[in-house]
Amino acid sequence: MPLYARVLTAPTPIPKPMASESTPPPSFVKQAMRNMVRKGSKSLFHFGLTAMGFLGFITLVAWLGRPTLPG
């Protein structure tokens, strides 16, 4: 079949996976909370590292951008 014939034909529908209608998928917030409870100390450690890195970055930017006063 030539390329132009394939382009002009109707697209085939993509079959949807069978999902149970009774239970909706859990929200991302619920999954994140569940993971945080399950991996508590690791999550807190990574949060602490992120917080310290962010504070260090903000301090560095403030120090590099400080105004120079005459005299």
Where do the domains of the chain lie? 29-65
d(Cα 55, Cα 61) in Å, to the nearest integer? 10
pTM, rounded to two decimals = 0.46
pLDDT digits (tens, 9 = 90+) for 35-66: 878 887 887 899 999 999 999 999 999 999 99
Which pLDDT score is estimated for 18?
A: 62
Mean pLDDT of 8-34: 72
44 or 15, higher pLDDT: 44
